[in-house]
Structure 1
Amino acid sequence: MYCRAMVAFGKKLKERQIQEWQGYYINYKLMKKKVRQYAQQIQVGTQDRRNVLKDFSRMLDHQIEKIVLFLLEQQGRLASRIAKLGEQQEALQQQQDISKLSELREAYREVGQDLLKLLYFVELNAVGLRKILKKFDKRFGYRFTDYYVKTRANHPYSQLQQVFKHVGIGAVVGAISRNLAELEDRQGSYLSIYDQPALPLQDPTIESIKAAVDRLSHSTNFLHFLAQHAFILQEELPTPVEEEVDDGRYHFISLLLNLANTFLYMVNTYIIVPTADDYAMSLGAAATVCGVVIGAMAVAQVFSSVYFSAWSNKSYFRPLVFSSIVLFLGNTMYAMAYDMNSIAILLIGRLLCGFGSARAVNRRYISDCVPMRIRMQASAGFVSASALGMACGPALAGLFQCHFKVFNITFNQETLPGWAMAVGWFLYLIWLWISFREPSHEKEASHMPKESNEESLQTDALENGLKQPLLISLEEKNEEENGDQEFDGSEEASEESRQPATSIASAYRLLTPSVKVQLLIYFMLKYAMEILLSESSVITTYYFGWSTTKVAIFLASLGLTVLPVNIIVGSYISNMFEDRQILLASEVMVLIGIVLSFHLIIPYSVAQYVSSGLIMFVSAEVLEGVNLSLLSRVMSSRLSRGTYNGGLLSTEAGTIARVIADGTITLAGYLGESRLLNITLIPSLVICISSIIATICTYNSLY
């Protein structure tokens, strides 16, 4: 199965190559064969690991040099063609011969199309290099990628950077863009592509080139960076031509209903935070029981994420209806607990709210039913709805400053959040019932690209590896020899290797060390954020005597930083630094925010609390974007679909972090409110330091 999987990937890689350039691509088949030979030689004792490392490095250097020299040759040809076209353009402008300008524009577009082919060539080779590095690491059980990237990527004569960073191609892109812009009719405008704000150029060729360059360099804009938070995985291998078939599954109002569900659920999550401590005290419990009250929703969500993810394999409408009904009942019980004077009813209501979490359905609908051309915008909408809900929840709680009774039912700042959300979910249920259109699940099998099965084969091999990587059985050897004879494993490989993970355990077995580190980072940032948000009401009341309104303003202000921070990072910072650099820097900033939050010797001030909380929250938001971006790159493609997908794993990691954080608040409350702040920050500090160490250890594998 291991060999067949690698053959399937090699076959797919070959099929997508530009035929006339086949001799210049990475020789994936040869390198796969060499890895097998190394394993045999080490087994019989004719090679040691050090020599294998050096020999494979030399071979990889040769492959990369072949790619880079061809790339430079093609760049030179494109530059020569652009130079000749420039001479023609200058001559036509001097002669004021406007009739031939359209022909010149077409000539520039032809050069642009050839540049697109070259970018596609580079991208396929970059994917092939990443895959062979992963294969080597899995086969031999030590970090070749770490050694290779560390020694090659940062060298002043690095050829590896030419492949992964497309050095020099930007100049060709700029030349084509500038000249096409000059040939456009601008009614006498002298603006150029270099002016700020840049002159917009709508030429489809340039737009395609820009998209290809951004994809290759992982360049981002605000929408792209924001969409990364949704963690919707895409196929890694690029396609030469964007072909998309509209199978009729997409419905705009249905997408809008999914986003509305996301927004309402986030409002529901955070609307009780400013008043949870007061509500607990009014029912005779300690203020720190707010941790359990807030965390009860997350506890239920750990389980609801699984069954909603499984349910979405068959339907989207029914789980959304069930979610709305459960949330309506849960919020009603939460509000009624005050008059019933029952902390148990309060907790059951919050548990029901957690059981109604349909975020897995919301994410799955975007992944399965939204066309590729607008999927990024839909993903950004999902994240924006979450961020807006996070800000609106506490803000609404701050507005509910009243106290009255209707038919012996109390309406005050503790119960109004429950009543408001119950009404909201009831109205949403009516809208859902009237407007939602269930997409056809029968088309899903045909909708999935054929190559996804083949990709699952190669990923299964890459991610699982061999239990004893240096020992090759006779059966495996025969399989590999057959595989070298153009064996097509896509038809005969075991069905299990094609399928998504069928359980949490099987999904966990697909996780590499790099993926585990990214999940640890996600756990850490969610834990730190939950500690900050959930205990804010208790801490600010104890130290500063804040009212519910002040707590609500503070929490809403934190929520409102999400979109501006993503604009800055997505548009500027992520294009200036690598994701792994931003990842490590963000972790350090979260650590600084945690350290500054401790109450040590000096009196605790509002300035210290607000500034440290802001640093921690903003850094965690930045960290979440790059963390999920890297996670999608290093995670197995088998985890991009099915019930137990990567989105579910990340959701579970984040939800468990929230549960533990909320439990920590309640447990620490038994030691007294004076110790609550420092006691709850210690686990955040330890986990953050651990994640930084783990990131440093896997840093070069995130290349």
Structure 2
Amino acid sequence: MVAFGKYLQRKQIEEWSGYYINYKLMKKKVKQYAEQIQVGSQHPRHVLKDFSRMLDTQIEKTVLFMLEQQGLLSGRLATLRETHDAILEQPDISRIVELRESYRDVGRDLLQLLVFVELNAIGLRKILKKFDKRFGYRFADYYVKTRADHPYSQLQQVFKHVGVGAVVGAISRNLHELQENEGSFYSIYDQPVLPLQDPVVEALKTAVDKLTHSTNFLNFLAQHALIMQDDLQTPSEDTIDERTYHFNSLLLNLGNTFLYMVNTYIIVPTADDYSMSLGAAATVCGVVIGSMAVAQVFSSVYFSAWSNKSYFKPLVFSSIALFIGNLMYALAYDANSIALLLLGRLCCGLGSARAVNRRYISDCVPLRIRMQASAGFVSASALGMACGPALAGLLQIKFKIYKLTFNQSTLPGWVMAVAWLFYLVWLCISFREPLRDTEEQEEQERSNPNETTSMTDREDNIRVEEGLRKPLLITSGIKLEEDEEECDESEESPEDSRRPANSFGDAYRLLTPSVKVPSSVLRNHSDKYMIMMVLIRDRRILGILEVHLTEISVLLYGFGLQVQLLIYFMLKYAMEILLSESSVITSYYFSWTTSSVAIFLACLGLTVLPINILVGSYISNMFEDRQILLTSEIIVFIGILFSFNLFVPYTVPQYVISGLVMFVAAEVLEGVNLSLLSRVMSSRLSKGTYNGGLLSTEAGTLARVVADATITLGGYLGRGHLLNATLLPSLVICIGSIVATCCTYNSLY
């Protein structure tokens, strides 16, 4: 394990050594402060003031040097521009090639400057983390909050990178002008959507995006899938062999995702009618719809484990299980068996291969298109959610062949059985199992420097890029180390940091990083009281406080990630209540037909992509994610509150408007919440059986199970009380999530 101070010294450019932050000095200062406070020679407020002044000085030194280097690069670009204009008047191939290489040299120097900024950002984040750990304060929150937007703060220069953007823009435009365009008269501004092919420009754009966390619709949508990268790599460092990537196999995975979502929601408009035709109450539709989710809770785990060995076999099993399940669902009508109906839905849930779909994209799709593939996964899910009810609305016919009945209740089962049969045939013909290296082959690759990067270089690349992936001053999801004195707060060893979680317990521990306040800090009762007040004020204390005569051990659990999972549970619960009971509620209050319910649900599903375009392209660039998160929760709360049937007759506008507000706000909330989760989850949750995607799937599936069970239990009160009985738990959970968000608001970066 390499200490960050030594790593910084090794990676820094020698000519710039005097302009990096003095990490070693600040580390010694933190230790000195601890000793002074311990003996009572320094007041904590003086320590905070002195340390803040030191950080301001170090950041100012770094930022001024960065601006100076930007000025030098701008001067070089201005000189090259004069040559550029002369060449355009009298074209010369050799001079054009030379000029393009000169622009690339400026781009490479700018990349060095970005690495300079990144290394200083890592050092700043680490020293703030060390300070908070040593003293039990939330100094990082205070420092970022007071400096980020202050007009005299140098920290905002590091955040915004205005000068860097201008230099990147100049290099990009000039290189584009020098490209061979086959006689086209269009400029870069006439065709802004065309990708720039120059690798230097692409590398610059990637580096700036990682530093600033600039977002767009495609990136925002891709984050919904929680398909994270275990190691940050640029496209040139992609470890997936292009020869093993198979486009048809990717399409088959996305097709499985689409068909499964269609299968999930195609029965929603008719589940109550089907239940009543078999002699059950209409509210049993909650059990019918939810039984698929119950089986999915278990199937997600074994499918995720199965995908460690194969992708083809799990998909074949999934198709067969869904084919059989839909046949059972369709035959239950003629068999007059509610048990067969439920068994069919359980069998469909056992065929849920979403974990395999995620793993395939994460493990087998090259990095250069992984974001597009992740966005495709989310889009396929959203499209399936909209197509399911719409398809049910079209199946309003009735006929009989021999003893088999085909009507609006059974046709969803028959149609999906045929769809899965065709999919199974396509799968067997077109799917290509990706190659999996044996341990011997991997060992040979590691030992061959001509074919693969050495482990040392990979470790260097991981650490160099680490600061570009994370927010500059991330304060949530940080693994707090237990080293005390001279042991540096370096990250886990490369082997540990890449080892996947082996159980749900391991995964949960990665979601709940803990820190033990050392007993040396708690020397007397006043110290104990001070630490307790700090913890209670920051609302981070949870668990057990063990008081001994000589020491107190305080265990802190990071609330941030659990709150985000609670939010995810809440929004999935509210959405499932709205969707699953829609047919029962609308038929009772408004006498809607199956077609009317199908149109309403399809319209709700069609809002998913437009809302994500709006949030990903515009709203996320204007507001912080945590601001959007809290606002969306409040709007969901308003939508739930407005849905209650209290003192006035329930009307169609009230139901439609409240449902639309609730659903749209929940969609915005889901996107922002998963965007935050994807940034702060441990890299160890990006691979293995118990990965981040599996955790989110389990949380969402559990929410659906609880919601559908609530609908069935609420049915015992009568259909007239079902609406309020199911909305009340949604309201309570929503209030809890809002309170939890407010308590951890400062940690949601």
TM-score normalised over the length of structure 1: 0.87
Q: Secondary structure at the match of 1:98?
A: coil
Residue 291 of structure 1 deviates from its aligned partner by 1.2
Name the CA shift for 1:371/1:550 in 2 (closer, same or farther; >3 Å). Answer: same
* Alignment check: 8 A CA contact 1:387 1:563 kept: yes
* Alignment check: 8 A CA contact 2:235 2:367 kept: no
Deviations 1:246-305 (A, max 9, x none): 164322221111111111111111011111111111112211111111111111111111
Pick aligned residue for 1:285 from 249, 259, 280 = 280
Residue 42 of structure 1 deviates from its aligned partner by 6.1
Name the CA shift for 1:655/1:69 in 2 (closer, same or farther; >3 Å). Answer: same
**Could you tell me which amino acid in structure 1 is paired with residue 579 of structure 2?**
L
Name the CA shift for 1:59/1:364 in 2 (closer, same or farther; >3 Å). Answer: farther
Pick aligned residue for 1:538 from 581, 584, 595 = 584
Pick aligned residue for 1:648 from 694, 710, 714 = 694
1: CA distance between counterparts of 2:479 and 2:192? 49
2: CA distance between counterparts of 1:13 and 1:682? 55
- Matched with 2:340 is 345
CA RMSD of aligned residues (A): 3.4
- Correspondence list, 1:92-241, <5 A: 96-99=89-92, 100=95, 103-134=98-129, 136-137=131-132, 141-181=136-176, 203-235=198-230
Residue 66 of structure 1 deviates from its aligned partner by 3.1
1: CA distance between counterparts of 2:135 and 2:239? 40
Name the CA shift for 1:510/1:204 in 2 (closer, same or farther; >3 Å). Answer: closer
2:633 is equivalent to residue 618 of structure 1:
no
2:682 is equivalent to residue 689 of structure 1:
no
1: CA distance between counterparts of 2:6 and 2:249? 39
- Matched with 1:473 is none
* Alignment check: 8 A CA contact 1:177 1:206 kept: yes
- Matched with 1:413 is 408
Residue 527 of structure 1 deviates from its aligned partner by 1.3
Residue 414 of structure 1 deviates from its aligned partner by 0.9
* Alignment check: 8 A CA contact 1:164 1:217 kept: yes
Pick aligned residue for 2:654 from 587, 596, 608 = 608
Residue 23 of structure 1 deviates from its aligned partner by 4.9
**Larger relative contact order (Cα-Cα within 8 Å, sequence gap ≥ 6):** 1
Q: Secondary structure at the match of 1:546?
A: coil
- Matched with 2:364 is 369
Unaligned runs of 5+ in 1: 470-475
- Matched with 2:509 is 509
Residue 389 of structure 1 deviates from its aligned partner by 0.9
- Correspondence list, 1:480-629, <5 A: 481=486, 490=493, 499-511=499-511, 512-629=558-675
Unaligned runs of 5+ in 2: 447-452, 471-475, 512-557
Residue 373 of structure 1 deviates from its aligned partner by 0.8
Say which is worse superposed, 266-275 or 608-617, in terms of deviation.
608-617
2:79 is equivalent to residue 84 of structure 1:
yes
Name the CA shift for 1:131/1:364 in 2 (closer, same or farther; >3 Å). Answer: farther
2: CA distance between counterparts of 1:357 and 1:276? 20
2: CA distance between counterparts of 1:269 and 1:489? 41
Residue 40 of structure 1 deviates from its aligned partner by 6.5
Name the CA shift for 1:59/1:517 in 2 (closer, same or farther; >3 Å). Answer: farther
Q: Percent identity?
A: 73
1: CA distance between counterparts of 2:233 and 2:156? 20
* Alignment check: 8 A CA contact 2:238 2:366 kept: no
TM-score normalised over the length of structure 2: 0.82
- Matched with 2:252 is 257
- Correspondence list, 1:415-454, <5 A: 415-442=410-437, 450=455
Name the CA shift for 1:309/1:529 in 2 (closer, same or farther; >3 Å). Answer: same
1: CA distance between counterparts of 2:569 and 2:629? 14
Pick aligned residue for 2:263 from 262, 268, 271 = 268
Deviations 1:136-162 (A, max 9, x none): 545655433322222222322232222
2: CA distance between counterparts of 1:172 and 1:153? 23
2: CA distance between counterparts of 1:157 and 1:557? 49
1: CA distance between counterparts of 2:134 and 2:348? 46
* Alignment check: 8 A CA contact 1:453 1:498 kept: no
Pick aligned residue for 1:392 from 387, 391, 394 = 387
1: CA distance between counterparts of 2:170 and 2:430? 50
- Matched with 1:327 is 322
2: CA distance between counterparts of 1:348 and 1:210? 52
1: CA distance between counterparts of 2:13 and 2:232? 14
Residue 50 of structure 1 deviates from its aligned partner by 4.9
**Could you tell me which amino acid in structure 2 is paired with residue 465 of structure 1?**
L
Number of aligned residues: 679
* Alignment check: 8 A CA contact 1:227 1:379 kept: yes
Pick aligned residue for 1:304 from 273, 290, 299 = 299
Name the CA shift for 1:195/1:324 in 2 (closer, same or farther; >3 Å). Answer: closer
Q: Secondary structure at the match of 2:241?
A: coil
* Alignment check: 8 A CA contact 1:530 1:658 kept: yes
2: CA distance between counterparts of 1:488 and 1:622? 33
Say which is worse superposed, 439-448 or 685-694, in terms of deviation.
439-448
2:693 is equivalent to residue 698 of structure 1:
no
2:480 is equivalent to residue 465 of structure 1:
yes
- Matched with 1:378 is 373
Residue 240 of structure 1 deviates from its aligned partner by 10
Name the CA shift for 1:453/1:103 in 2 (closer, same or farther; >3 Å). Answer: closer
Name the CA shift for 1:172/1:668 in 2 (closer, same or farther; >3 Å). Answer: same
1: CA distance between counterparts of 2:266 and 2:122? 45
* Alignment check: 8 A CA contact 2:23 2:123 kept: yes
- Correspondence list, 1:10-21, <5 A: 21=16
Q: Secondary structure at the match of 1:670?
A: helix
